[in-house]
Amino acid sequence: MTFLDKIKQGCLDGWAKYKILPSLTAAQAILESGWG
């Protein structure tokens, strides 16, 4: 399982609830975690 697979659902949940683009959530997660 890749890092993006692990965060995908959280990114989509953020889009549904807060209208934050999943790509932005993923980019922030990558920056903060150093790719996992």
The DSSP result for 1-36, as a single string, is --HHHHHHHHHHHHHHHH---HHHHHHHHHHHHT--
pLDDT score for 5: 97
Enumerate residues 6+ apart whose C-beta is below 8 A from 27: none
pLDDT of residue 36: 84
Question: What pLDDT is stored for residue 3 in this prediction?
Answer: 96
- Output the pTM of the full model: 0.85
Question: Over its length of 36 residues, how does the chain's per-residue pLDDT go in tens digits?
Answer: 999 999 999 999 999 999 999 999 999 999 999 998
**Cα(21)–Cα(33) distance, rounded to whole angstroms?**
19
The domain segmentation of the chain, as residue ranges, is: 3-33
